[in-house]
Structure 1
Amino acid sequence: EENIKDAYRFLCENYEPGDRIFLFGFSRGAYQVRAVAGMAYKVVGLLTPGHISQLDFAMEHYIEPWRSGNKAREAHLERAQTFKRTFCRDVPIHFVGVWDTVSSVGLVRGEPFPYTTRCQHICYFRHALALDERRVKFLPEYVYGGAGYIRDQHNMYKMRRPQRGKQHNQTALEHASHGDSHDVPHVKEVWFAGCHSDVGGGNKINHDFQMTNPSLLWMKMQAESAGLEIKSTSIPNHRPLGQIHEQPTESLTGLWWRLCELLPVKRLSYASEAETVRWP
C-alpha cells in the first residue's frame, strides 16, 4: 500500500490539466501501477495539491467498499463519491504499460485491489507476459482474469492514434470510434520468450538486452503510438531484433519453489476454449 500511495502522491503533486498520464511497472510494481490507475480515475480521483494531507483517507475510500459486504458497500461507495467531489479531480489514465504483472508470490494470494483486473478506465492497456515462466505459484494477473477479450460496449473501444505534432488535451476514450482502420486496440497482452525476470529485466547484467530487448522495444513502440515522446538516448545501445541466442533462465530452482509445485492451486489455462483453469 505504501508504494501505491507514493505513486499516487507523485501524480497529485505533479499533474496539470491537459497532461496525459503514462504508468509503467514490472512484476509487483506492475500490479501497483494498475492499482494507482484504479484509484486515481475510477474510485476517488486525484487529490488536488492543497488536499494532499487527505491521502490516507483517499486510500481508505479506495479499498474499504470492496472489503465490506454487499449491504455496506453501497454506503461506502457513496461516501467515496462525496470525498471525490470535495477534494479530488477527475483525471483520465491515458496509458498503462506493464511487464508480467504479479500481485503476490508464493502460497498466499490476498484479495485483489479494486479495478486491477479490468481496464475499462484505461485508454491504452499494454501487457508483456513471460512465455517460459513455469512456477505455478508465480501467476501473472491477466486483464479480465484471463477470460479473453470480452466483447461488450465497455471494453471494445478502439483508440485513434495520436497524430505527431498536435497537442491532445482529450483522452483517446473521449473520441473513440468503432471501425476506423487506423484505430489502435484498447487492450494488448502479448507473450515474449523468457521467464519472468528475462522479460521484465533485472535477472542478471545484460548489456546486450538479449531477452529483454523484444518486450522493451515493443512497449516503447506501443507508448509512442499512444503519444509518448521518448528521447533516443533513453534506451541505450539496444540491438536490432534478430535471432536470440540466449536461452531462457530456469526459474524452477531452489527447494522452496519445487516444494510449492507439489501443492494444488488453481491456475489459468489456455488449453482449450472451454477450459479456463487446471490443477497442477
Structure 2
Amino acid sequence: MKNIVLCFDSGWGGPGSRATNVLELRRLLDDTDSQLVWWHPIGAAWLRMRRRRAISDAQTAVVGGYRVIADSWQRGDRIFLFGAGYGGYCARALSRLLDTVGVLPDRCHHLLDYALATYALPRQGRTPQEWRQVTELTEILAGRSALSVPVHFLGLWDSVRIPGLPRSAAGLPANVRIARHAVAIDGSAFGEIVGDGPTDRTAGSDHIGDHIEEVWFRGVHADVAGGPGGCRPLANIALHWVLDGAVRAGLEVSPIRRPAPVLGESDAVAGHTPTGGLRRLPPAPHIHDSVRVYLRRHPGYWRRLPATFCWADPDWAARGERLLPTPRRVRVPAADRALAHSAV
C-alpha cells in the first residue's frame, strides 16, 4: 500500500511569503517508495490569460493527474488530492471523475480518451443523477461494475470556480472519504463551498459529517490559500489546519521539513480587514477559532459573521506540537557515555 499525492496549485507565487499553500505543502513531502508525489501549477497569471487558454490549462491538469493515478494506482493505495483556488476546482473535478469512471483498463483506451475529453472538465453542470447515468453507461461499455475509486483525503484552500466553467457539482462525491476545505470569509463571489446545495451522499453513509469539514478563516483568498498579496501568518493557520487533517489520515511528511510550531495569537491578528468583496456565508457555518482572537481586538469584525455559527478547531495554536516529528531515540554505547562523563 502506498500514498498517491496529487497537488493542484493555483500558480507558483515564488519563494517565501509569495508561496501558495499548495507549494508550501509540496515542500514538506518526500517522494519515496511508499509515497508518490505529483505537483502541477495551473497558470501563474490567470487574470492575463484568455478564458479558452485557462480552461485548456485546467483540463490538462485534471487529465494529467488522472493519468498519474491510472499508471500507478493499485487497489489498497490511498489517494490524496490537494488544491488551492483554481487548483481546488481541478481537485474536485478529478475526485468526481474517479467516482464516475474509476480507473479504466488499458484495453478501454478509446473509452478512456472519450471519458477524459468529455467528463474531466465538462462545460455544463450535471446533477448527481446525471453523473450516475454516466457511470452506468461507462460500466456497460467497459464491461465491468463498481468503477468508483476512493479518494482517501481531499484538502482544499478556498476553491474558486474557473471562469467559463460551471460551478462544481453540489457537495462532494461519495468516493471522498475525508475532506477539509479552508474558506476565506472575505473572499470573492467566485469562491465555491462544499456545502452548496444538496449532495449525492446518502444519509446512511458512514463518512458523512465529521469526516467532511468546511471551516471559514479570516481574510481574502490569498490570506487563506497563500500566494502573492496574501498575509503569510494567516495563510499558515489554514495551511496547518488542512495539513493536520491529512497527517491524521496517513500523509507522510518529511521529518526534516515539518513546519515549526509557530502559530499563536500574533498570527491570528496579522494583516488587515478588507473593505470590500465580501461573500455571503451559509447558515450556521463553522468559523475557525483563530477569528475569535481577532474579534477581541477588532470587535467591528462581528459584522462579517452571521447570527448563528459554531467555533471550530479550538486547539489550533497547539497544533504545531502535533506536527513536529517524534524525536528518534539514539542508543549511545556505554564506553562513549563514560568517555563523555570523564570529559566534563
Name the TM-score class by shorter chain. Answer: 0.5 to 0.7
The change in CA–CA distance for 1:85 and 1:22 in structure 2 (over 3 A counts) is farther
**Rounded Cα–Cα distance in structure 2 between residues aligned with 1:52 and 1:28:** 28
**Rounded Cα–Cα distance in structure 2 between residues aligned with 1:268 and 1:218:** 20
Does the Cα contact within 8 Å between 2:152 and 2:177 map onto a contact in 1? Answer: yes
Matched, 1:217 2:267: no
Q: Which letter maps to 1:102?
A: V
Count of aligned pairs? 226
Does the Cα contact within 8 Å between 1:198 and 1:249 map onto a contact in 2? Answer: no
- What SS is found at the alignment partner of 1:239? coil
Deviations 1:110-165 (A, max 9, x none): 4345x5632422100110011232x3xx3322124167x9996245x258xxxxxx
Does the Cα contact within 8 Å between 1:61 and 1:80 map onto a contact in 2? Answer: no
Instruction: Give the aligned partner of residue 2 of structure 1.
Output: 60
The change in CA–CA distance for 1:68 and 1:146 in structure 2 (over 3 A counts) is closer
Q: Give the CA RMSD over aligned residues.
A: 4.1
- What SS is found at the alignment partner of 2:233? coil
Matched, 1:33 2:81: no
Instruction: Give the aligned partner of residue 124 of structure 1.
Output: 178
- What SS is found at the alignment partner of 2:74? coil
TM-score (norm 1): 0.64
TM-score (norm 2): 0.54
Does the Cα contact within 8 Å between 1:139 and 1:267 map onto a contact in 2? Answer: no
- What SS is found at the alignment partner of 1:203? coil
Instruction: Give the aligned partner of residue 219 of structure 2.
Output: 194
State which of 262, 265, 271 in structure 2 corresponds to 1:242. Answer: 265
The change in CA–CA distance for 1:52 and 1:154 in structure 2 (over 3 A counts) is farther
- What SS is found at the alignment partner of 1:142? coil
Instruction: Give the aligned partner of residue 82 of structure 1.
Output: 140
Q: Percent identity?
A: 28
Matched, 1:203 2:228: yes
Instruction: Give the aligned partner of residue 210 of structure 2.
Output: 185
Higher helix share: 2
Does the Cα contact within 8 Å between 1:27 and 1:200 map onto a contact in 2? Answer: yes
The change in CA–CA distance for 1:269 and 1:218 in structure 2 (over 3 A counts) is closer
The change in CA–CA distance for 1:53 and 1:239 in structure 2 (over 3 A counts) is farther
Deviations 1:71-104 (A, max 9, x none): x988755422224445995421111010111113
State which of 203, 228, 232 in structure 2 corresponds to 1:153. Answer: 203
The change in CA–CA distance for 1:185 and 1:13 in structure 2 (over 3 A counts) is same
Does the Cα contact within 8 Å between 1:199 and 1:215 map onto a contact in 2? Answer: yes
Deviations 1:21-73 (A, max 9, x none): 010000111011111011112x1111335656654312256367x7789xx98
Q: Which letter maps to 1:92?
A: P
Q: Which has the larger radius of gyration?
A: 2
The change in CA–CA distance for 1:123 and 1:75 in structure 2 (over 3 A counts) is closer
Matched, 1:93 2:151: yes
Matched, 1:226 2:249: yes
Deviation at 1:186, TM superposition (A): 1.9
- Runs of 5+ in structure 1 lacking a partner? 160-183, 274-280
**Rounded Cα–Cα distance in structure 2 between residues aligned with 1:236 and 1:52:** 42
**Rounded Cα–Cα distance in structure 2 between residues aligned with 1:102 and 1:217:** 20
Instruction: Give the aligned partner of residue 193 of structure 2.
Output: 142
- What SS is found at the alignment partner of 2:88? helix
